[in-house]
């Protein structure tokens, strides 16, 4: 019976840890954005040649 309550406590701890991480990401959403708003932001052009012209580089992304 005590294992049952230990599992409930562990589940609540895990849930709260996940919610804490979710709220941290939600509050820092401007810094953690992984996508670009295409017409306004463009991918940085790499220094090395990857086989595409500079004008075509953002079209292949």
The SS3 of residue 8 is helix
Q: Give, rounded to a whole angstrom, the gap between the first and last alpha carbons of the chain.
A: 56
Domain assignments of the chain as residue spans, ordered by start: 2-59
pTM above 0.75, yes or no: no
The count of other CB atoms within 10 Å of the CB of residue 21 is: 10
**pLDDT beyond 60 at 60:** no
Q: Among the listed ranges 13-17, 27-31, 43-47, which one has the minimum average pLDDT value?
A: 43-47
């Amino acid at each position: 019976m005590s294992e049952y309550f230990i599992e409930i406590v562990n589940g609540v701890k895990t849930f709260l840890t996940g919610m804490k991480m979710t709220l941290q990401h939600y509050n820092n959403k401007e810094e953690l954005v992984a996508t670009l708003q295409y017409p306004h932001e463009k991918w940085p052009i790499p220094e090395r040649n990857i086989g595409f012209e500079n004008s075509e580089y953002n079209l292949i992304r």
